[in-house]
Each structure stands twice: as structure tokens, then as C-alpha cells.
């Protein structure tokens, strides 16, 4: 890959940075404190083309590439991780699979208005008793003549309380020998039998609402089926390969925010008569933080570049997500240490960055799942 960004990539990065600094960052603390869904920022993301960055313009997207998407994600998440993950879910977990696996008619109905930001999508894989082991899900799709009957539930669905449509994965064929078959479906929020719980109360990303979604005797036709019957797991895994790039970029943005604040503070705050940055212990911490941030960015760009080339990137996405997410927690931890007591105070944003960073090690595949994926590829 070429490490020199194209003019178009620099343009989208700079546009995202300008928007993030002027409109997102000033509201980040209030969004976190009040757990407020940032509807006005979500609308602006759509207007700027950030809700379908890598979707062709013929389907409502910005027509950019996945490196551009990663660049934009980093900038938005540096300002507000909540706003960033709303954008990530709509791009990576909703628009991308509909674009890849949807029919022209499905793309016209369930992609175009979502990629343009007019509507919002979400992704339903995790269940109350089925997280990392997605094969054990209980949501079931029963064939009834020319219809499908869906029953079950999904939880921790980011964007769930506000999404217009959810991609749902359900068992469509049980098996006593081997693994069950799954199928993916597109279900609109106003479908009879569709209901949502109140938003979850979480440690971080307070503005990115999630919830449990229930399906009770939901009747669907084949036009709602995304991909082939029995190939839902393929759809889910292909989607997560790309989604992990988005979460890695989110982690990178959070880490960069913590690092930049730590650098400024270490130059302004004095101890023993000199700025903190003059103490080797602090300078070495900053050096380690800068090195890890740069390494994460290069891993993310590699995975995004491979996705743009249309080559398999499961291993590279897992590596980027694993390293970037754990790096973000380490960097936020060190930034709090540099701030001392102030870092532990809600008056300063470091504790928010720390809380927001932690989730990146969990959703869209825990660090343990990433290690399983990486090890499996290494041992082939």
C-alpha cells in the first residue's frame, strides 16, 4: 500500500477534522454527562456524507474508499466516541452488508436512504445468552409457506433505540449433527411484533444508545431476506471483518484525544520547578503512547487498504482491532496518570476517554476472539 494519502483522502480527513473540532468536540462532555442521543450531530454526519463513506454515490453514499472511512472515524471519535460509533454502526454493520449482499431492489429501499443519512440502521447478532459464540443464538426463523416467522431477541444493539431498520441473524435450519444454518433478514422498526426495551445504562459511550430488541411472531416475505438461505453466518462474519476496522479507528481516535491532552498538560503543569514533560518518566510515557498510536494507525490503514482491494482481510482486521483497542486503554490509562488527581476528576475529559476506550476491547469481537482468529490464521 501507498502510505501517502491521496488528495481525496486528505480532503475527507480535513473535512471530518474541521467538523469534529467545531461542532462535535464542544458538545462531547454534555452528551456524555446527560446520556443524550446527539441527533443534530447524526444529521450533520449524513449531510457531510459520513454515514455511507465507502458506499458508491449511486446508492446514496459518498463514493469514497475504506481508508477514507478510517480517517474520518479517527477524527470524529477523537472528538466524541459516542458520535463516532453511531457513524461506525451505520457504515460498517448496516450499509456495508446491504451493499455487498442486497439485491438492487433491497439496495434501493434499505441502502440508499441509510447511506445518505436520511435513515439509520443497526445490526442484530448478539443475544442475551449468545455473545462471542454466535453459533448458539436462539432467535429462530421458521419457514411458513412463502413467509418467514421470526421469534427471538437481540441485545446490546447500538443505534437500536433510534434505528429505522435492523439486520437480524436467525437460525433457519436446526441440526442435530454439526452446526445450525443461519439466515439474515432486514426488519423495519414499524413491523408488527417488533419491540424495543429502554436504552441500556453503560460505563461509557453514553450518547450512543443501545437496547434489547424483541421479535414476536414477525412475518416476513423473501424480499426481507439478505443473502442466501443458510448463509447468514457468512454475512455476519464478512460484516465483522470490515466492522473491526471501524472500531479500531474509533479506538485510535480516543487514544489520540487522550494523548494530545496529556502532551499539552505535561508542558503546562510544573512539578519540582520544571514542566512535567521535563521529567524523563513522563517523557518516556509520552514516547510509548506516540509509538503505539502510530503503530495502530498503520495497522488500520493496512486492513482498510486490503478491503479496498477486495482481498481477504480477516487476519489484518483482527490484528488492527486487537492492537488498537488495547492500545487505547493503555494510552488513556497513562494520560490519567500524567494528569494525576485531575485525570480522575470529571472536570477533565480523561476519565471519559478511559471509559469510552474500554468498550472497544469488547464489541464487534472481544480481544479474546481476535486472538482466536489471529492464532487460527497463524497456525494454518
Q: According to CATH, what is the number of the domain 122-230?
A: 2.40.110.10
According to DSSP, the residues that pair with 121 across neighbouring strands are: 165
Asked if 314 and 373 touch (Cβ cutoff 8 Å), the reply is yes
Asked if 164 and 188 touch (Cβ cutoff 8 Å), the reply is yes
**Secondary structure (3-state) at 164:** coil
Burial of 200 (0-12, 13-18, 19+ CB in 10 A): middle
pLDDT attached to residue 180 = 87
pLDDT attached to residue 151 = 98
How many C-beta neighbours within 10 Å does residue 287 have?
Answer: 11
Determine how β-strand 225-226 pairs with β-strand 181-188.
antiparallel
C-alpha distances in angstroms, 66 versus 50, 78, 161, 302, 331?
A: 12, 18, 27, 10, 25
Give the integer Cα–Cα distance in Å for 295 and 327.
Answer: 10
Asked if 315 and 380 touch (Cβ cutoff 8 Å), the reply is no
Nearest to 295 by CA among 332, 239, 256, 269: 256
pLDDT attached to residue 176 = 63
**Secondary structure (3-state) at 39:** helix
How do the residues of the chain divide into helix, strand and coil, expressed in percent and rounded to 5? 55, 15, 30
Widest pairwise Cα distance in the chain: 80
Give the integer Cα–Cα distance in Å for 115 and 349.
Answer: 31
> Going residue by residue through the chain (380 aa), what tens digit of pLDDT does each one get?
678 999 999 999 999 999 999 999 999 999 999 999 999 999 999 999 999 999 999 999 999 999 999 999 999 999 999 999 999 999 999 999 999 999 999 999 999 999 999 999 999 999 998 888 878 899 999 999 999 999 999 999 999 999 999 999 999 998 766 788 999 999 999 999 999 999 999 999 999 999 999 999 999 999 999 999 999 999 999 999 999 999 999 999 999 999 999 999 999 999 999 999 999 999 999 999 999 999 999 999 999 999 999 999 999 999 999 999 999 999 999 999 999 999 999 999 999 999 999 999 999 999 999 999 999 999 98
Burial of 124 (0-12, 13-18, 19+ CB in 10 A): buried
Looking at domain 7-119, its CATH architecture is Orthogonal Bundle (1.10)
pLDDT attached to residue 174 = 87
Asked if 317 and 245 touch (Cβ cutoff 8 Å), the reply is yes
Would you give the end-to-end CA distance of the chain in angstroms?
25
Give the integer Cα–Cα distance in Å for 25 and 339.
Answer: 20
Give the integer Cα–Cα distance in Å for 136 and 131.
Answer: 9
pTM of full prediction above 0.85:
yes
Grid cell locating 14: 480535513
152: left (phi over 0), alpha (psi -120 to 50) or beta: left
According to DSSP, the residues that pair with 167 across neighbouring strands are: 123, 186
* Parts of the chain belonging to CATH 2.40.110.10: 122-230
Active site (catalytic) residues: 364
Q: Give CA torsion, residues 261, 265, 268, 270, to 10 deg.
A: -170
C-alpha distances in angstroms, 168 versus 94, 174, 191, 261, 288?
A: 10, 17, 13, 40, 41
How many C-beta neighbours within 10 Å does residue 377 have?
Answer: 14
Nearest to 203 by CA among 358, 366, 25: 358
Give the integer Cα–Cα distance in Å for 157 and 122.
Answer: 7
C-alpha distances in angstroms, 357 versus 4, 138, 333?
A: 28, 30, 10
Per-residue pLDDT of 101-155, as tens digits, reads 999 999 999 999 999 999 999 999 999 988 888 788 999 999 999 999 999 999 9
Per-residue pLDDT of 315-344, as tens digits, reads 999 999 999 999 999 999 999 999 999 999
Looking at domain 240-378, its CATH architecture is Up-down Bundle (1.20)
* Parts of the chain belonging to CATH 1.10.540.10: 7-119
Amino acid at each position: 500500500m501507498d502510505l501517502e494519502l491521496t488528495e481525496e483522502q486528505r480532503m475527507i480527513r480535513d473535512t471530518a477534522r474541521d467538523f469534529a473540532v467545531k461542532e462535535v468536540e464542544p458538545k462531547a462532555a454534555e452528551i456524555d454527562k446527560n446520556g443524550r442521543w446527539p441527533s443534530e450531530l447524526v444529521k450533520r454526519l449524513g449531510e457531510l456524507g459520513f454515514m455511507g463513506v465507502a458506499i458508491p454515490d449511486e446508492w446514496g453514499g459518498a463514493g469514497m474508499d475504506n481508508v477514507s472511512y478510517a480517517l474520518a472515524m479517527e477524527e470524529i471519535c477523537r472528538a466524541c466516541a459516542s458520535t463516532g460509533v453511531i457513524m461506525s454502526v451505520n457504515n460498517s454493520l448496516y450499509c456495508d452488508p446491504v451493499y455487498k449482499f442486497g439485491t438492487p431492489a433491497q439496495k434501493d429501499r434499505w441502502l440508499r436512504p441509510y447511506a445518505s443519512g436520511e435513515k439509520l440502521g443497526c445490526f442484530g447478532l448478539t443475544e442475551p445468552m449468545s455473545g462471542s459464540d454466535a453459533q448458539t443464538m436462539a432467535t429462530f426463523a421458521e419457514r411458513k409457506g412463502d413467509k418467514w416467522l421470526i421469534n427471538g431477541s437481540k441485545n446490546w444493539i447500538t443505534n437500536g433505540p433510534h434505528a429505522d431498520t435492523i439486520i437480524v441473524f436467525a437460525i433457519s435450519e436446526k441440526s442435530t449433527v454439526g452446526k445450525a444454518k443461519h439466515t439474515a433478514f432486514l426488519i423495519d422498526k414499524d413491523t408488527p411484533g417488533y419491540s424495543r426495551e429502554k436504552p441500556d445504562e453503560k460505563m461509557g459511550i453514553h450518547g450512543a444508545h443501545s437496547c434489547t430488541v424483541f421479535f414476536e411472531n414477525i412475518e416476513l416475505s423473501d424480499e426481507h431476506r439478505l443473502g442466501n438461505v443458510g448463509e447468514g453466518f457468512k454475512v455476519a462474519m464478512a460484516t465483522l471483518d470490515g466492522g473491526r476496522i471501524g472500531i479500531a479507528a474509533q479506538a485510535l481516535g480516543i487514544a489520540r484525544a487522550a494523548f494530545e491532552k496529556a502532551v499539552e498538560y505535561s508542558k503546562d503543569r510544573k512539578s519540582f520547578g520544571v514542566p512535567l514533560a521535563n521529567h524523563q518518566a513522563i517523557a518516556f510515557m509520552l514516547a510509548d503512547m506516540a509509538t503505539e498510536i502510530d503503530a495502530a494507525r498503520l495497522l488500520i490503514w493496512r486492513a482498510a487498504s486490503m478491503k479496498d482491494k477486495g482481498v481477504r482481510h480477516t487476519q489484518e482486521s483482527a490484528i488492527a482491532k486487537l492492537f488498537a483497542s488495547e492500545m487505547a486503554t493503555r494510552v488513556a490509562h497513562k494520560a490519567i496518570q500524567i494528569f494525576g488527581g485531575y485525570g480522575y476528576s470529571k472536570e477533565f475529559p480523561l476519565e471519559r476517554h478511559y471509559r469510552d476506550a474500554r468498550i472497544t476491547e469488547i464489541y464487534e469481537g472481544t480481544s479474546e476472539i481476535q486472538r482466536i482468529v489471529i492464532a487460527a490464521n497463524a497456525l494454518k
